[in-house]
Structure 1
Amino acid sequence: MIQVELSIDEFAYDVRSLIQAFYPDKKLVFIDSDYMLNNNMLKEDIELKISVKYMEHFIGLSFFKNGVPILENSVEVVYDIKNTNSFMGKLNLTMEQRKIYKNELKRLLYNMLSEVTGQLLPWGTLTGIRPTKIPMKMLEEHCKESDIKKHMSEEYLCSKEKADLCVNIAKKEYDILNKIDYENGYSIYIGIPFCPTTCLYCSFTSYSIDKYEDQVEDYLKALFMEIEDISSRVHNKKLITVYLGGGTPTTLNADQLERVLVKIKTSFPMEHVRELTVEAGRPDSITIDKLKVLKEQGVTRISINPQTMNQKTLDVIGRKHTVDQIIEAFHMARQTGHDNINMDLIIGLPGENYEDVSYTLNEIDKLKPDSLTVHTLAIKRAARLNTNKEQYMEMTPTDTIKMFTLTSEYAMNAGYKPYYLYRQKNMADNLENIGYSKEGKEGIYNILIMEEKHTIIALGAGASSKFVSQDGDLIERSENVKSVKDYIERVNEMMERKHLLIERNFS
């Protein structure tokens, strides 16, 4: 156990995230001055104690092992604007001052954690989901590439490799977005929360189609109500991208899938749409009839997601399909005219090693998808891989970094270039997820959602809307309930949640 004591309740999230990056398997306990007395905590339960002392222009950190101080350091925090003070147990700082203070704290904490553990993190102090937002903002301010990389290195202690990657992806995104009128537009996400089975690592909103088949029509009826309601309120902005995800949209039968697409096209203005994506992620949900429907209804991009091409791993993670079905589904998609196909892979799956990933890449190379998204396994709290983790302890991969490097080298050699990047909590070896694509086959929706450049209105069970203000400084969220039953019964409430936000952002 690691115990963290803060002198006042500030920056706890940032401190927790950075410590967990160094100690991903350790329990963290944050305490106040009375915690040990009230909870009778035994000293031998604490492997490491970190004490954080905040003052108006000062941060002090102390590390203790077995009650004995092993490391102490401090830093003075200097602002351009003066007159900060500590008030009623809080740091009374402006937004800009809080940023300066937080970054000083994280650099100090990082350097001390690095000294204690002997580790360096490739992303330095960055623990957030969207590291490319930093260079993107600097590109928009017309900063030089060399200055951006220097900033990533000095301000956030990023490695040269990650700083280069981050800046190169931001440049690619910047070039793509400059060709799109995204500032005067919005995107739509449609959630279809059904899957053939739930994968071992999955924490998304998904329900077995076998168990919920009798609720699909009621779900579509509620979804169509939400589509009609929202589409009637957004006429004065351009729809830029549409994304059908889940779950797995292609668990719907061909008729249902066609009705969903027709409903979208007849409800929303489609003349400015740059991309219409459907996740056909599970090969066991794909048929020739469904692929024809997607093509006939103007779908421009689909995903067929194997995650791995090793049958033993597919069986472990709960994918009830074969490698042959992946290959067959891909060939059917090409035969029906789909010319922008993405495939997802996951690095760090239970029991996989370097040779398994190499085999997967060799098999993927035979198919030649138009884009490739490489995920590093992130074990979410609700996933079965976490709740039943004792069953898979002996299957934990040990060479994730080597596997990830292999995918990067493959992508470069095969003519794919990285175009978007994001990170998640609890990712193996503190790595990232990267989208690679052939030129002109980038997923525009992926860039828009990662860079939070405009409003994405999400419809359906478990869908999360993000309303971005005109100046981009304010992001407001609206969550739909996850349960299919609750969504069907409460769809009017889901619509009403969005009305005020639409009025505020689409006026």
Structure 2
Amino acid sequence: MIVRNIGHDCAYHIEKIAVMFFPLEKLRTDGDDNVVITTLKQNNILSVRVKAYSKCIERNCDVSENDDIANKLSLLLYDTLTELTGYSMPWGILYGVRPARLMHSTVDKYGIDEARQKFLHDRVNIDKINLALSVMQKENEIIALSKRNSFSLYVSIPFCPSRCSYCSFVSHSIAKAKDLIEPYVQLLCKEIEIAGKTAKDLSLNLESIYFGGGTPTTLNENQLERILKAVEDNFDLSNLREYTVEAGRPDTVNRAKLDTLLCHNVSRISINPQTFSDEVLRNIGRKHTVKQTENAYNLARQMGFNNINMDFIAGLSGDTYTSFKNSIDKVVDFAPQSITVHNLSLKSGAYLCTENEFFDLSSRNLTSDMIDYSFKTLTKNGYNPYYMYRQSKSLGNLENVGYSKPGFECLYNVFMMDETHTVIAVGAGAVTKLKNYDTSHISRIYNYKYPYEYINNFDEVIN
């Protein structure tokens, strides 16, 4: 996809909107391609020309001195692309990761009624506006728990039994990286010790802990025990509100590991089916069955876990509306305390498509229907949306939403997504976010991305 911007400095906004409509296209600024977008500001005229395969549309509008050029040009491009593709994005021209946070700042500045109008002006669907308001209100309740010296701890365990086809996280299958696990655990415990000393020196108050990855329960119970003990030995947990460990892959869950988590007062776990279809599981490379998910969940329940989350993804390969509906209906019967519904994020340049495929809206419409069904069904059954984020290049530019029964919202998810307070992050791929309470400025410290880099450069990590 070629994007040319002439006579203005709104390239960032224009490119974001172009990618929303054409997420699989690679961006370039010169040459020729099947998709060419040209935006121009000349005197008091804004113009947009879009050529996509055999289709071509040109549109323009007047602009005055006091107009927001970026907003007006974004809307012109959005309307042109909607006309050309026949698809209107549910979030309009909004491309940010945190729509509820944007709603929060807009409401603070203008009030709810005017905030609604501004979102409508930006072509946001009324249902999405109501969702953003609902999530904003729930997030505000959780954000209010955080104090000046609050922080959260993130522990990265970047290993999985196997790599799923859709995965974009830093994660290594144990078949390829098993020799790295033991040295990684040893060094991770050392980094936890150093991080704990830093938190103590700064008199920080630990609010929430989150073990993510990867799949933390890929580790054996001895390795989990050592990491959990390192956290206990080096951090003050006396005011801890929440302790989450992802047990995302059901084929990594057993009694010994769950007992280890319970012994260290882990209060919340996540067992993630992604789908209740064995066929779809095979399609996406998850080497477990629906039955294993059921067994893992029932075992956790029997052992006393009373705060369990389950994740699902809309738009997976081979998933139909009927099979997705079955997954959501089934998880409602399971009645976990929280359910997170993700929208599939596409990988750039995954394949070259024909013109007919390019304008085929069936996948976007199907995924949108799935997301809508999950919202209606979960809210009807007592699950409230409490946090939300979006990913670039997601199918249909849709949202990921966390739902929970009242009182079972994941605090860490909200603190992290809102960037409420400092997050100290340890392990490969971890990003520490140091927040200045007075200015809200955030400084980021990036650990080495891959386990072998983390291990080989550990002295640099801790210094």
Tell me if TM exceeds 0.5: yes
User: Does the aligned pair in 1 maintain the 2:171–2:214 contact within 8 Å?
Assistant: yes
**After superposition, what is the alpha-carbon deviation per residue over 1:429-460, rounded to whole angstroms, capped at 9, x for unaligned?**
11110000000000001111111111112110
Which amino acid letter does the alignment assign opposite residue 229 of structure 1? Answer: I
Identity, in percent, stands at 37
User: CA separation of 1:453/1:68 partners in 2, compared to 1, >3 Å: closer, same or farther?
Assistant: closer
CA–CA separation in structure 1 for the residues paired with 2:314 and 2:164:
15
Secondary structure of the equivalent of 1:271?
coil
User: Does the aligned pair in 1 maintain the 2:345–2:393 contact within 8 Å?
Assistant: yes
Query: Once superposed, what is the RMSD of the aligned Cα atoms?
Result: 2.5
Deviation of 1:138 (Å): 4.2
Where do residues 459-478 of structure 1 align in structure 2 (5 Å cutoff)? Answer: 459-478=426-445
CA–CA separation in structure 2 for the residues paired with 1:115 and 1:396:
18
Secondary structure of the equivalent of 2:211?
strand
Deviation of 1:253 (Å): 0.8
CA–CA separation in structure 1 for the residues paired with 2:27 and 2:311:
33
Q: Which residue of 2 aligns with 1:94?
A: none
CA–CA separation in structure 1 for the residues paired with 2:45 and 2:155:
46
CA–CA separation in structure 1 for the residues paired with 2:458 and 2:108:
39
Deviation of 1:401 (Å): 1.4
CA–CA separation in structure 2 for the residues paired with 1:400 and 1:69:
27
CA–CA separation in structure 2 for the residues paired with 1:126 and 1:68:
24
**Alignment equivalent of 1:60, drawn from 35, 38, 46:** 46
Where do residues 87-102 of structure 1 align in structure 2 (5 Å cutoff)? Answer: 100-102=68-70
Q: Which residue of 2 aligns with 1:90?
A: none
**After superposition, what is the alpha-carbon deviation per residue over 1:224-259, rounded to whole angstroms, capped at 9, x for unaligned?**
121111221122221111100001000111111111
CA–CA separation in structure 2 for the residues paired with 1:187 and 1:181:
10
User: Does the aligned pair in 2 maintain the 1:417–1:438 contact within 8 Å?
Assistant: yes
Deviation of 1:52 (Å): 2.6
**Are residues 1:268 and 2:235 paired?**
yes
Secondary structure of the equivalent of 1:166?
helix
CA–CA separation in structure 2 for the residues paired with 1:457 and 1:415:
33
CA–CA separation in structure 1 for the residues paired with 2:185 and 2:17:
43
Which amino acid letter does the alignment assign opposite residue 157 of structure 2? Answer: I
Deviation of 1:8 (Å): 5.5
CA–CA separation in structure 2 for the residues paired with 1:421 and 1:103:
24
TM-score by length of 1: 0.83
Q: Which residue of 1 aligns with 2:130?
A: 164
- Residues 242-251 or 168-177, more deviating: 168-177
User: Does the aligned pair in 1 maintain the 2:57–2:84 contact within 8 Å?
Assistant: no
User: Does the aligned pair in 1 maintain the 2:146–2:421 contact within 8 Å?
Assistant: no
User: CA separation of 1:146/1:258 partners in 2, compared to 1, >3 Å: closer, same or farther?
Assistant: same
User: Does the aligned pair in 2 maintain the 1:75–1:108 contact within 8 Å?
Assistant: no
Where do residues 402-441 of structure 1 align in structure 2 (5 Å cutoff)? Answer: 402-441=369-408
**After superposition, what is the alpha-carbon deviation per residue over 1:270-306, rounded to whole angstroms, capped at 9, x for unaligned?**
1221111000000000001111111110111110000
Q: Which residue of 2 aligns with 1:83?
A: none
User: Does the aligned pair in 2 maintain the 1:188–1:241 contact within 8 Å?
Assistant: yes
Where do residues 13-412 of structure 1 align in structure 2 (5 Å cutoff)? Answer: 13-31=12-30, 41=32, 45=33, 47-53=35-41, 60-63=46-49, 65=51, 70-78=58-66, 100-139=68-107, 144-154=111-121, 156-178=122-144, 180-235=145-200, 236-381=203-348, 387=350, 399-412=366-379
Secondary structure of the equivalent of 2:63?
strand
Which amino acid letter does the alignment assign opposite residue 73 of structure 2? Answer: L
**After superposition, what is the alpha-carbon deviation per residue over 1:448-482, rounded to whole angstroms, capped at 9, x for unaligned?**
11111111121101112222222354222222112
User: CA separation of 1:397/1:171 partners in 2, compared to 1, >3 Å: closer, same or farther?
Assistant: closer
User: CA separation of 1:485/1:69 partners in 2, compared to 1, >3 Å: closer, same or farther?
Assistant: closer
**Aligned pairs, number:** 453
CA–CA separation in structure 2 for the residues paired with 1:137 and 1:476:
21
User: Does the aligned pair in 2 maintain the 1:350–1:397 contact within 8 Å?
Assistant: no
TM-score by length of 2: 0.91
Deviation of 1:125 (Å): 1.0
Secondary structure of the equivalent of 1:232?
helix
User: CA separation of 1:217/1:64 partners in 2, compared to 1, >3 Å: closer, same or farther?
Assistant: closer
CA–CA separation in structure 1 for the residues paired with 2:45 and 2:432:
38
CA–CA separation in structure 2 for the residues paired with 1:195 and 1:67:
45
User: Does the aligned pair in 2 maintain the 1:183–1:453 contact within 8 Å?
Assistant: no
Secondary structure of the equivalent of 2:199?
coil
Q: Which residue of 2 aligns with 1:10?
A: 9
CA–CA separation in structure 1 for the residues paired with 2:459 and 2:372:
48
User: Does the aligned pair in 2 maintain the 1:349–1:397 contact within 8 Å?
Assistant: no
User: CA separation of 1:472/1:275 partners in 2, compared to 1, >3 Å: closer, same or farther?
Assistant: farther
Where do residues 488-507 of structure 1 align in structure 2 (5 Å cutoff)? Answer: 488-496=455-463
User: Does the aligned pair in 2 maintain the 1:59–1:77 contact within 8 Å?
Assistant: no
